[in-house]
Chains A and B, each alone.
Chain A
Amino acid sequence: GAVVSQHPSWVICKSGTSVKIECRSLDFQATTMFWYRQFPKQSLMLMATSNEGSKATYEQGVEKDKFLINHASLTLSTLTVTSAHPEDSSFYICSARDSGRDIQYFGAGTRLSVL
């Protein structure tokens, strides 16, 4: 079946540094990709929707200057957490929609720990 690869799976960084998370669709083209955030024992909250070749659409309350999203190709979207702080520690999950089959697939997630 279709696979979405998310990397890294776990990252620890110092406060003030930036962290980049990659999301790749391995065997399909994804015009649209989604980035979610999940706090412990809570559900997934959509952060932003990215469309290939255009600016991402951010959900209310999500700082676009802090969470930079780039969707430069049909198989790759990146989320960069800039100047990370401990409160940014969370589980981030990406998702890619198979444009041809209109099905959404999920990555395995990235656990970010900011010290």
Chain B
Amino acid sequence: KQEVTQIPAALSVPEGENLVLNCSFTDSAIYNLQWFRQDPGKGLTSLLLIQSSQREQTSGRLNASLDKSSGRSTLYIAASQPGDSATYLCAVRPVWGSARQLTFGSGTQLTVLP
């Protein structure tokens, strides 16, 4: 059974700092990996989706990398801002299975201090 782990569980940084969030998964047979943002009491906002054949994806100040063989992904946030404060979730979608539903990590709660 796929297990997704995110480290650290919480992170607090001063504004302007670059930071890295980590995600690891146990089964490398993934179809894709997705990073989401969740604000308190809200739903999920998709940030980046990396297909299994890709190594990285970029969107603005965000860069996500994928190393499928080692079961790892990182989300890099450049020049962090207070508005980046949220919980960041990674999720993997398997290659196999009838519904191929996403398996989520437990999230990293990010606080960017002004």
Contact = CB atoms under 8 A, between A and B. Distances in A.
Interface of A: 6, 32, 34, 41-44, 46, 49, 51, 57, 91, 93, 95, 103-109, 111
Given A43-B105, A105-B46, A109-B42, 17 more contacts: A32-B99, A34-B99, A34-B101, A34-B102, A41-B109, A43-B89, A43-B104, A43-B106, A46-B101, A51-B99, A91-B41, A93-B44, A104-B93, A106-B46, A108-B42, A109-B41, A111-B41
Interface residues of B, number: 19
A84 B101 CA distance: 27
Greatest chain B CB density within 10 A among A34, A41, A44, A46 is at: A44
A51 B98 CA distance: 11
Query: A-side binding surface: helix, strand, loop or mixed?
Result: strand
Given A44-B89, A49-B99, A106 B44 contact: yes
B107 interface: yes
Contacts of B41: 91, 109, 111
